[in-house]
Amino acid sequence: MSDTNSGPRSIIGVRDVAARAGVSRQTVSRVLNDHPEVAASTRERVAAAMDELGYRMNNAARALGTRVCCTFR
């Protein structure tokens, strides 16, 4: 057996970014939503963690989380 993972790459989420940056999931969320009360140094640390991990925002998950999904009347 080999130690390399030849399967699909796992999805990098907000929790992964938070763990890498040493902050809470909520802090990552605040950075993503451009909340004004996040310190510049924290914002930079979270951004660096996102770059290192290759984080990409999942718009479908975001829509579900914010309940801004398809509403029919």
Q: Within a domain: residue 8? A: no
Range of the domain at 32: 14-64
12 close to 54: Cβ distance less than 8 angstroms: yes
Has residue 32 been placed in a domain?
Answer: yes
Asked whether residue 2 is domain-assigned, the answer is no
Does some domain include residue 7? no
Compute the distance between CA of residue 59 and CA of residue 2 in angstroms, rounded to an integer: 35
CATH of the domain at 19: 1.10.260.40
**pLDDT tens readout for residues 40-66:** 999 999 999 999 999 998 877 777 766
Assigned domain for 19 exists: yes
The domain tally of the chain equals 1
**SS3 of residue 70 by DSSP:** coil
pTM beyond 0.85, yes or no: no
CB 37 within 8 A of CB 30: yes
Of 52, 54, 32, 51, the residue nearest 43 (C-alpha): 32
Structural domain contains residue 70: no
Tens digits of residue pLDDT in 7-35: 566 889 999 999 999 999 999 999 999 99
